Amino acid sequence: MSTTDLAAPEDTATPAAAANPLAAFVQAPREVPLDAYWMPFTANRQFKKNPRLFVKSAGMHYWTDDGRQILDGVAGLWCVNAGHNRPKIVKAIQDQAAEMDYAPPFQMAHPKAFELADKVAKLTPAGLNKVFFTNSGSESVETALKMALAYHKVRGEGTRTRLIGRERGYHGVNFGGISVGGMVGNRKQFGAMVHGVDHIGHTHDPKRNAFSVGQPEHGAELADDLERLVGLHDASTIAAVIVEPVAGSTGVLVPPKGYLNRLREICDKHGILLIFDEVITGFGRTGNPFASQTFGVTPDMIVMAKGLSNGCVPMGAVAVKQSIHDAFMNGPEHLIEFFHGYTYSSHPLACAAALGTLATYEDEGLLTRAADLQDYFAQAVHSLRGEPNVIDIRNIGLVGGIELSSIPGSPAKRAFDIFLDCYERGVLIRTTGDTLALSPPLIIERGQIDQLVDTVRGSIRRHA
Ligand SMILES: Cc1ncc(COP(=O)(O)O)c(C=O)c1O
């Protein structure tokens, strides 16, 4: 039997059905030519000495090329929210590939693009009812930043050219995204980047907020840093502020109570657009379709990707307020209103995958499932308090961050070793610096939360 014989779609989301479909056979180790592929965001030399290869996925699990079952504790890369190989998504992609491979998105379209935009607009907070498609989170960020600049220009406020990000923010890897982003490692190799960018301070405050369960109590006033930048640059020069409601890639930083509301108020006061980057928090991660709904704060634009198509076909989107869209709808009707788009915007396969994904979320109530599980999940991750080197634990919905003290002189080494150890013991987690991040598919069962956290606990102890 080959691995492709196992590819028939079947619902493996339930624990019983998720029994190891590879258990009956052991695959001969595959000869893989490792040299040519320059891997992204990877320690290439370390990896190629001891490669970690997945060849199969179903429900909550991956399988490695040597037949080991791995519990997915990070939804692939925070994207496989409905779990792996879900039947509606698989079928939607297969059917679309057979029916129509590609349709140009400039001056032409296909019906599923409109259907999908309509469904996404119904999930976003009221008022954000226009949707622009991209192929990734990074492209969605660039799209939102360009929209913000162009919006002010078409309204006659072309002096608003400054973009504001936040320290410790991650907004993908393109030039706009790394410029407004606040991760030093992602910026330092790339020169001056986009000009006219500034940053407010981050919200991480372990002195006051360590081991907060859910939203930290202290720090709403940190949003006032935006007033400082308005004082420095003047509001008439500022187009937009972009933040992640929960910063994911810099270690799961949950917004302090009242912080996002305050940011909204300051943006409103000064006519500055507020953009939420919900690439990680979108599609159910915090217990609602979007974190904007969880925190009760509506931005002017929402950047999304990942969970939109369950990671199955690359796709991103930007949802914007009607008023932003309408500001562009001027001039002769035969002329293009917004000079932006991608060859693969609203790609038919991506739209099919996303429609299958949204149907799966709806059938199984997945976009609110994190709200039901969050207390159990919180208890589980906070049970790691007191384990060796654990200096903070942060959580919201089905996302958790466990911060460890660094080995002196070797930042990120302890977490990386724990990541490798968990993998050897059948659990996939993610690390950023010395923080372990957990963000499992939203179909996770309580017993699997226990397995995830207990495996992490064992690894933390082994690396004390
Ligand atoms: C908040 C946020 N924005 C943007 C991105 C970039 O998305 P992509 O890797 O799809 O370009 C990510 C990726 O993790 C993200 O977490």
For the CA of 138, the closest atom of ligand 1 is 11
Lowest mean pLDDT among 85-89, 248-252, 395-399: 248-252
For the CA of 306, the closest atom of ligand 1 is 10
pLDDT at 31: 80
pLDDT in tens, 266-291: 999 999 999 999 999 999 999 999 99
Which one of 77, 80, 170, 278 would you pick to mutate in the ligand 1 pocket, going by the greatest count of ligand atoms within 8 A of its CB? Answer: 170
* Through-space distance between the first and last CA atoms of the chain, rounded to whole angstroms: 43
pLDDT in tens, 396-414: 999 999 999 999 999 999 9
What residue's CA is closest to ligand 1, atom 12? 172
**Ligand 1 neighbour 397 (Cβ under 6 A):** no
Counted residue by residue, the chain has a size of 464
- CA 22 to ligand 1 centroid distance, Å: 32
pLDDT at 2: 34
Provide the β-strand partners of residue 303.
277, 318
Alpha-helical regions (H) of 329-368: 348-364
Which one of 178, 280, 304 would you pick to mutate in the ligand 1 pocket, going by the greatest count of ligand atoms within 8 A of its CB? Answer: 280
Residue 17 has pLDDT above 50, yes or no: no
Rounded to an integer, the average pLDDT of 85-94 is: 98
Residue 228, token pair as written in the block? 């400082």
Residue 310, token pair as written in the block? 């369950």
Residue 1 has pLDDT above 60, yes or no: no
pLDDT in tens, 341-393: 999 999 999 999 999 999 999 999 999 999 999 999 999 999 999 999 999 99
How far apart are the C-alpha atoms of 374 and 378, rounded to whole Å?
6
How far apart are the C-alpha atoms of 429 and 385, rounded to whole Å?
18
pLDDT in tens, 119-137: 999 999 999 999 999 999 9
pLDDT at 5: 30
pLDDT in tens, 56-69: 999 999 999 999 99
| Phi, psi of 218, deg, nearest 5 | -105, 135
pLDDT classification of 21: cutoffs 50, 70, 90: low
- CA 255 to ligand 1 centroid distance, Å: 18
Rounded to an integer, the average pLDDT of 95-114 is: 98
pLDDT classification of 11: cutoffs 50, 70, 90: very low
3 state DSSP class of 239? strand
pTM of this structure: 0.94
**Ligand 1 neighbour 249 (Cβ under 6 A):** yes
Write down the residue that tokens 């059917």 correspond to: 95
- CA 138 to ligand 1 centroid distance, Å: 6
**Ligand 1 neighbour 133 (Cβ under 6 A):** no
Provide the β-strand partners of residue 247.
253
Which one of 249, 276, 292 would you pick to mutate in the ligand 1 pocket, going by the greatest count of ligand atoms within 8 A of its CB? Answer: 249
Residue 173 has pLDDT above 90, yes or no: yes
Rounded to an integer, the average pLDDT of 158-167 is: 98
Residue 24 has pLDDT above 80, yes or no: no
Residue 8 has pLDDT above 70, yes or no: no
